Amino acid sequence: MVPFSTHRALCPRAQRCHTGPAEPGVRADRDAGLAAVPRGMAAGPNLSAAKRKFADSLNEFKFRCIGDAETDDEICIAKSLQEFATVLRNLEDERMRMIENASEVLITPLEKFRKEQIGAAKDAKKKYDKETEKYCGVLEKHLNLSSKKKESQLQEADSQVDLVRQHFYEVSLEYVFKVQEVQERKMFEFVEPLLAFLQGLFTFYHHGYELAKDFSDFKTELTISIQNTRNRFEGTRSEVEALMKKMKENPHEHKNISPYTMEGYLYVQEKRHFGTSWVKHYCTYQRESKRITMVPFDQKSGGKGGEDEAVTLKSCTRRKTDTIEKRFCFDVEAVDRPGVITMQALSEEDRRLWMEAMDGREPVSSDLGAQTAQLDSIGFSIIKKCIHAVETRGINEQGLYRIVGVNSRVQKLLSILMDPKTATETDTEICAEWEIKTITSALKTYLRMLPGPLMMYQFQRSFIKAAKLENQESRVSEIHSLVHRLPEKNRQMLHLLMNHLAKVADNHKQNLMTVANLGVVFGPTLLRPQEETVAAIMDIKFQNIVIEILIENHEKIFNTVPEAPASNSQLLLSRKKSTESKPPSCSERPLTLFHTAQPNEKQENRNSIINSSLESVVSSNANSFLNSNSAPQPSLNSSDLELEVIKPNRPNSLTPLNQGYALYMIHTEQRCFSLSPNETCPSPVSAVHPSQEPGWLEGTLNGKTGLIPENYVEFL
């Protein structure tokens, strides 16, 4: 029989079980960890597939903008999603290579080690446990033999026990040998695959690091574009909020989006054989031609109730209350019609607006007061004094021109500068006591006080279009040409200002006013719109770009003469090349551009304009209304409206682009546009025609009229 001490020496595993009771728990954790490795690797492709799907979504996502052009910053931001998708795909390609390599260098060797080595050790343990139980049973049975048995029987029993003991001893040695082999093999057959796996993991992360380095330049550019866009948004947001507030306070002053100076319902007094009657009319008035158009309107039928009538305004006078029983009345005299036409407005405010549009004799108060700022010697002196004070005392002050001064101080400084008695004094005597922010605010306020913006209303759309050109060189060239079309005094003042702003931008590291920041500050001042509209607010970002170009290229623009404009053939070729690469936008379609007709065109376009206006109000009776046009028109039904364009009868027109007013039937793209919150535009929008808002159309759906982004519609 083998002594117990010898058994312990031959079975190190039993010794470890005796001295380390926590080892079974460690072994269980180890087995669980090994089993988790394949599951983790199997989850990798699922994660990669999810990221690839996300990358595909980013790549297919398209930014939509309201308007016909985008700034360079907006183009950079729109392109960023495709860059993000490329980076994600690149990372996932490297991740899949790492996972595929991990299967060969980690999973397969570990599975082999588990099956061949650990499996063999488990089989040896089972055999050892079985022999131990057998040996202990034989030994107990042998010890229970009586000493009274024959000697031959006892010797036979001893021989049998020795045989079982010998077999048990051999099995024990085999089991100990196998355990020892597993313990030694795991030092290299288990750790070596893990090392190879970590090396692949490090390669993956290093690839990510290199990818991040390559992406850093675009990230910097994108960060600047995002910041510029955020700054423009903040400026535009305040303008939109201010416009919304004004529209809430004075809805009548902002409700017109048509080409007419004034339009709306009026009751016209008509004389009968037995007295007079008041007939409801839809009237329009154009100040340029002084044409009043009156269309009878039948409220019961909801449509036109008679023939149109158009007269030329001679005078407009408020009707005294004591001379007529009706309220809100005024008299109109016409050049081509005898007698006086008495009209009744819908309210006192409505009458005031009509009389103001017709230059009536009703006095209209003005809250703005007389503007005294001019581009004269005093004006140039004021600007030069402010510029000199800024350049000598505050060129490095942070937030220059962005931080505003106290309004009362600014007004006081302006009153001193604009006083003819003090206008000849030096800038030091006048400006030394004033803060820089007060001086800069005075300069900007004086520019806003001019009767018109420094870069003039008539060139505003041209400057905006120049900023929307795709090529930077074309932008500079076009703006260069436009600047030299400005009046001499305007150009001199602009030159003086741009030279100063260039010096301010040169010190941007100290004053933090870059060219982009100066564009945000001076764009709305030098290119302020004639009317406050949503389209004008959306153009602020392009106004800023114009100022940036003027500052960056001021030496070329103001010190050199622009090149001669290209010939018509060159312009047509350039336009053809620029349009071949993209489908035509709504603004490029014939008969969709609004323009102000000349006086000799008004009579030709009158009927078409009346029809367009009435269609937007009485869309339910479009057929009968359109057929009433004095010019011969084919009869239309609901299906014809989707295929035909009602064009004004102008046989002498030279180009289809300026043929005046037209109606279209369109449908919107998917669910981009709706005239009510819960409506998805299942049917085409009718009575579509250009509006005064650039980049917008006006349309009617189910009797409701509103604005449609021009690039969101498709013509039928």
| Inside any domain, residue 146 | yes
Residue 598, pLDDT score: 39
Residues 343 and 408 in one domain: no
The larger pLDDT score, comparing residue 31 to residue 662, is at: 31
| Inside any domain, residue 568 | yes
Q: For the chain, state the CA radius of gyration.
A: 45
The CATH number assigned to the domain holding 408 equals: 1.10.555.10
Share of the chain above pLDDT 90, in %: 24
The whole-angstrom distance between residue 459's C-alpha and the CA centroid of its chain comes to 27
701 pLDDT above the threshold of 50: yes
| Inside any domain, residue 284 | yes
- Among the residue ranges 135-139, 166-170, 470-474, 683-687, the one predicted with the least confidence is 683-687
Residues 49 and 196 in one domain: yes
Q: Are 312 and 287 in contact (CB under 8 A)?
A: no
Residues 572 and 634 in one domain: no
Residue 509, pLDDT score: 94
Confidence of residue 498 (pLDDT cuts 50, 70, 90): very high
Closest CA to 283 of 359, 360, 354, 363: 354
How large is the average pLDDT for residues 558-568? 72
**DSSP H or E run through 590:** none
Report angle CA 525, 393, 553 to the nearest 5 degrees: 45
Neighbouring residues of 266: CB distance < 8 A, sequence distance ≥ 6: 280, 281, 283, 294, 343, 344, 345, 346, 354
C-alpha dihedral sign at 574, 580, 584, 590: positive
Residue 499, pLDDT score: 96
- In the DSSP assignment, the letter for residue 663 is B
Cα(198)–Cα(204) distance, rounded to whole angstroms?
Answer: 10
Residues 283 and 429 in one domain: no
Residue 209, pLDDT score: 92
Residues 427 and 518 in one domain: yes
| Inside any domain, residue 554 | yes
- Pick from 357, 389, 421: which residue ends a domain? 357
The CATH number assigned to the domain holding 163 equals: 1.20.1270.60
Paired sense of beta strands 309-318 and 303-304, if any: unpaired
Q: Are 535 and 695 in contact (CB under 8 A)?
A: yes
602 pLDDT above the threshold of 50: no
- Pick from 521, 549, 580: which residue ends a domain? 580
Residue 115, pLDDT score: 84
330-344: pLDDT as tens digits? 999 899 888 889 999
The CATH number assigned to the domain holding 342 equals: 2.30.29.30
Cα(120)–Cα(182) distance, rounded to whole angstroms?
Answer: 9
Residues 556 and 630 in one domain: no
16-71: pLDDT as tens digits? 433 334 444 445 555 555 555 566 666 767 888 888 888 888 888 887 777 667 78
Residues 448 and 541 in one domain: yes
Residue 569, pLDDT score: 42
Residues 508 and 572 in one domain: yes
Residues 521 and 590 in one domain: no
How large is the average pLDDT for residues 665-686? 47
- Pick from 550, 580, 610: which residue ends a domain? 580
Cα(514)–Cα(541) distance, rounded to whole angstroms?
Answer: 16
196 pLDDT above the threshold of 90: no
Residue 556, pLDDT score: 93
Confidence of residue 531 (pLDDT cuts 50, 70, 90): confident
| Inside any domain, residue 539 | yes
Cα(667)–Cα(715) distance, rounded to whole angstroms?
Answer: 7
The average confidence (pLDDT) of the chain is 75
The larger pLDDT score, comparing residue 234 to residue 593, is at: 234
- Among the residue ranges 13-22, 152-161, 374-383, the one predicted with the least confidence is 13-22
Residues 407 and 556 in one domain: yes
Q: How many domains does the chain have?
A: 4
625-660: pLDDT as tens digits? 333 333 333 333 333 333 333 333 333 333 333 333
DSSP E strands in 273-411: the ranges are: 275-286, 291-298, 303-304, 309-318, 329-334, 340-344
Per the structure, the complete domain to which residue 441 belongs is given by 377-580
Distances from the Cα of 331 to the Cα of 313, 342, 343, angstroms: 11, 5, 6
Residue 446, pLDDT score: 93
Residue 670, pLDDT score: 40
Residues 390 and 307 in one domain: no
| Inside any domain, residue 575 | yes
| Inside any domain, residue 247 | no
Cα(367)–Cα(594) distance, rounded to whole angstroms?
Answer: 32
| Inside any domain, residue 590 | yes
Q: Residue 172: phi, psi to the nearest 5?
A: -60, -45
Task: Tell me the range of 180-194, 353-367, 575-589, 610-624 where mean pLDDT is highest.
Answer: 180-194
Task: Tell me the range of 99-103, 122-126, 255-259, 425-429 where mean pLDDT is highest.
Answer: 122-126
How large is the average pLDDT for residues 227-233? 86
Residue 476, pLDDT score: 94
Confidence of residue 134 (pLDDT cuts 50, 70, 90): confident
Residues 564 and 609 in one domain: no
Residue 624, pLDDT score: 35
384-441: pLDDT as tens digits? 999 999 999 889 999 999 999 988 788 888 888 887 766 655 444 555 678 899 999 9
Residue 255, pLDDT score: 60
Paired sense of beta strands 262-272 and 685-690, if any: unpaired
